[in-house]
Amino acid sequence: MNPAEPSGKALNAVRLAHLIVSSRLGEGGIAVDATAGNGYDTVFLARLVGSSGRVYAVDIQPVAIESTRARLEIETLSDRVRLRTGGHENLRALLPEVPDGCAEVVMFNLGYLPGSDKTFITRTETTLSALEEALRLLADSGVLTVVCYPGHAGGSSEAGRVCEWANGLPSDRFAVTICRTANGPEHSPFLTVVEKR
């Protein structure tokens, strides 16, 4: 199963992220997908920003960028998306055309690319650096979403550190919400949302 395309209709971390993002992003918007993977989130963002908007999608794996490129071509959405291969810990350097404070949305979907090399898993230290970079890019009233996967090796500690990071953000500048299943398995994916006030 692709984490960005869950089966069934129940709410889950990915679906909640999409619901929140779709309430904040519209025609002409600027959005960043910091973990492009197989391109599902990139396509979702590209539809929301319309032909006058722009999506920037980053992944450390060339195979992920090629997968995203192919999906965008099938959906005829390539024109409105710029793809970058590199680590999201260097997000602002990878996206020199996005000034600080200009992105309405930045999305992270942590973990590994389904069906690919699991050594390219997101890692705590680079994830935390990338989240700091993302906050700089975020516009006022912009929203940052982070889907965390505590169920795989290393995922639990990364997810815990993401929560600690978010909990430590100053409440006069950022509103933080963490959404997790109340009656599902202990290590279910969960969503962290940071809104810039």
Ligand X SMILES: C[S@@+](CC[C@H](N)C(=O)[O-])C[C@H]1O[C@@H](n2cnc3c(N)ncnc32)[C@H](O)[C@@H]1O
- Applying CB under 6 A, the residues found at the interface with ligand X are 2-4, 35-41, 58-61, 64, 87-89, 109, 111-113, 120, 122, 126
Residue 106 tokens read as 């930045």
Q: Is the Cβ–Cβ distance between 77 and 48 less than 8 Å?
A: no
Q: What is the DSSP string of 122-181?
A: --HHHHHHHHHHHHHHEEEEEEEEEEE-TTSTTHHHHHHHHHHHHHTS-TTTEEEEEE--
Chain Cα centroid distance, residue 19: 13
Q: Is the Cβ–Cβ distance between 100 and 92 less than 8 Å?
A: yes
Residue 92 tokens read as 């602002």
Which residue number places its CB atom closest to ligand X?
A: 37
Q: How far is the CB of 182 from ligand X (least distance, A)?
A: 23
